Amino acid sequence: MKITQAMVLAAGLGTRLRPITDSIPKPLVRVAGKPMIDYALDALADAGVKKAAVNVHHFAEQMEAHLRRYPRLDVMISDERDRLMNSGGGLAKGIKLLAPGPLFVMNADLFWICERAGEATNLQRLADFFDPATMDMALLCVPLERTTGHNGKKDFQLDGAGRLTRYSGGDQPLVYAGAIAMHSSLLDDAPDDAFNLNLYFDKAIERGRLYGLVLQGHWLTVGTPDALVEAEEVLSRLHAEA
Backbone angles phi, psi at 17, to 5 degrees: -95, 10
Confidence at residue 239, expressed as pLDDT on a 0 to 100 scale: 66
Q: Counting Cβ atoms within 10 Å, is residue 15 exposed (0-12), middle (13-18) or buried (19+)?
A: exposed
Residue-range definition of the domain harbouring residue 161: 5-241
Confidence at residue 115, expressed as pLDDT on a 0 to 100 scale: 86
Per-residue pLDDT of the chain (242 residues; tens, 9 = 90+): 899 999 999 998 888 888 888 899 999 999 888 999 999 999 999 999 999 999 999 999 999 999 999 999 999 999 999 999 999 999 999 999 999 999 999 999 889 988 888 899 999 999 999 999 999 999 999 999 899 877 778 999 999 899 999 998 877 899 999 999 999 999 999 998 999 999 999 999 999 999 999 999 999 988 888 888 888 888 877 766 65
Confidence at residue 242, expressed as pLDDT on a 0 to 100 scale: 55
Backbone angles phi, psi at 46, to 5 degrees: -60, -25
Q: What is the CATH number of the domain that holds 85?
A: 3.90.550.10
Count: domains in the chain: 1
Helices (H), 70-186: 86-94, 122-129
